[in-house]
A and B are shown apart, each in its own frame.
Chain A
């Protein structure tokens, strides 16, 4: 129990350092602060400044947490500051949920990420860690020296949990994992009922000389299309009440083979 509570300052300091670094050094991130719920809270103009101030407070809290073992520094002062910060984050998320549901969280990275249950879970974990740190009877250097493996283990497990709860980090671990899955198992979109999409025909058509020759006469987008043997026939409305009809090779890519005819409209089909 002692290890569990006394190791918390290390986890909290780690999270605050990462989070503060983004807020203080990422110029881009500060600019984007205007897109976070913070802008709603303090006003768009002041959002970047407020964002930076939060970063500075986080950095200060990290310093206090790590200084907790030095003689002369009360070892709980960093923990108390962390409780205040973590409670503040949770409150901020609830506020954002209620008043700016579409905004980005702006929590620990420059990456935009919407506020989801994971954001709450992460803020909850941090608050719990901060409360545990307050209840710790000893400072973290003593525990680290006494039971180093247990202390490091606790911090690593919690660090991984925080990482898993961070949508901002998805690109680092979740996406590669999903890529791996489609590589070892059949791609979910492989082997769909294969039928030549019209978009494929149109791209070939638009690359053809036949299309360029009558292109300026076309008035509408594709009216109808159908398949005729090795051809796909595509019709457009042309000027002067005519219909432009193209024949595009269906199963090969050969824009040079595209044929066109402009037909005086035989008879309009009623709508």
Chain B
């Protein structure tokens, strides 16, 4: 089954245009069923979460990422077809490069490998002040250092207070303090902007 067929299948499952074996419509998903097995954190507050890893990619071998943590711990991260990969937007394994920074969440296997459920590549989150706005970019002041935020049309979104998130960035003003989520361009002071929270604090 190729990716197109798969999408067609999933689309018809959720929109109910065809009967799919194994699909569960919302109505039959009772809350009790959903909460039958509550998420087990099971991590000592002071201990490192074994199911989490962060660091810079130092090597890629097949579907395995070799990652050096900021505390110099080495991680091996196994990526599968069920792993979500975020790099400014949902993407595929090919988009991950050596030198990228990442956060990974998954399940630690017996041999120490982390089988990743989710990867967030080069993600950054910071509170900044807008110091200038230009055609396709924002200059941002982050504790005295300048960060260049690139606007990616169709991807960069803005949240103005409680209004629905929008692609309209024309309400941003110089001097405003905002919170940004973005994808860092490794070893630069540049960020591709994912979401700009203006007038709210990102949770």
Contact = CB atoms under 8 A, between A and B. Distances in A.
Contact of A228 (B15, B118, B156, B164): B15
A223 B14 contact: no
Given A200-B165, A213-B26, A253-B164, A170 B131 contact: yes
Nearest to B92: A271
A228 to B, nearest CB: 5
A210 B143 CA distance: 40
Interface stretch (A49-57, A92-100, A156-164, A261-269): A261-269
A176 B175 CA distance: 8
B173 interface: yes
A190 B84 contact: no
B36 to A, nearest CB: 9
Interface string A120-140: 000000000000000000000
A106 to B, nearest CB: 10
B67 interface: no
A113 to B, nearest CB: 6
Interface residues of A, number: 70
Q: Which of B38, B146, B157, B174 has the most CB of A within 10 A?
A: B174
A40 interface: no
Contacts of B35: 216
B13 A245 contact: yes
A268 B83 CA distance: 11
A114 interface: yes
Contacts of A179: 173-175
B173 A182 contact: yes
Interface in B11-52: 11, 13-16, 20, 22-26, 29, 31, 34-35, 37-39
Interface in B164-188: 164-170, 172-175
Q: Which of A197, A200, A223, A236 has the most CB of B within 10 A?
A: A197
A186 to B, nearest CB: 8
A255 B87 CA distance: 26
Nearest to A229: B15
B86 A221 contact: yes
Interface in B111-142: 117-118, 120, 131-136
A189 B172 CA distance: 9
A216 B39 contact: yes
A226 B132 contact: no
A174 to B, nearest CB: 8
Contacts of B73: none
B153 A192 contact: yes
16 contacts: A170-B131, A188-B136, A195-B167, A202-B165, A203-B159, A215-B34, A219-B82, A220-B117, A221-B120, A233-B11, A263-B10, A263-B13, A269-B3, A270-B81, A271-B79, A271-B83
Interface of A: 35, 102, 104, 112-114, 170-171, 175-176, 178-179, 182, 187-200, 202-204, 210, 213-217, 219-226, 228, 231, 233, 235-237, 239, 241, 243, 245-247, 253, 259-271
Interface of B: 1, 3, 6-7, 9-11, 13-16, 20, 22-26, 29, 31, 34-35, 37-39, 63, 79-84, 86, 89-90, 92-93, 117-118, 120, 131-136, 143-146, 151, 153-157, 159, 164-170, 172-175, 194-195
